[in-house]
Amino acid sequence: MEFFEIYDQFYQRVRNFILASTRDEWAADDLTQETFIRVQKNLSTLKDSSKLAPWIFRIAYNLHPTEGIFRSAADEIHSPVFIWANHRTHPLLLSCPRRRRQPKATHF
């Protein structure tokens, strides 16, 4: 099966799978794209084409250590980016000592 056929067949399912975990449209789009980049890069390593769907979803799931897509909501609201983006309304920021209220630079 050609990559573009795989992409057309699985794109929406993979995106829905990731979106259910991230609850963030932009993150889901980015991580879906990253999933299919990895699929395209490693398609030649798939030995059994009957295991294509589980293989693709495992790639999406395995983004967890590098992208954190399956982290809990509690982890998300304690991240510096979330606090910084919501600094005007989020009570967690107000509970921090004043010296820690400044957003730190993060690398993406």
Question: Do residues 29 and 69 make contact, with C-beta atoms less than 8 angstroms apart?
Answer: no
Q: Which CATH architecture has domain 1-70?
A: Orthogonal Bundle (1.10)
User: Residue 70 above 50 pLDDT?
Assistant: yes
The predicted model gives 62-87 an average pLDDT of 51
Q: Domains of the chain: which residue ranges?
A: 1-70, 72-108
Q: What is the rounded radius of gyration, in angstroms, for the C-alpha atoms of the chain?
A: 18
Counting Cα atoms < 13 Å in the Cβ hemisphere of 59 gives 24
19, 61, 68 from 10: Cα distances, Å: 14, 14, 21
User: Residue 14 above 60 pLDDT?
Assistant: yes
User: Residue 101 above 80 pLDDT?
Assistant: no
Confidence of residue 83 (pLDDT cuts 50, 70, 90): very low
3-state secondary structure at position 79: coil
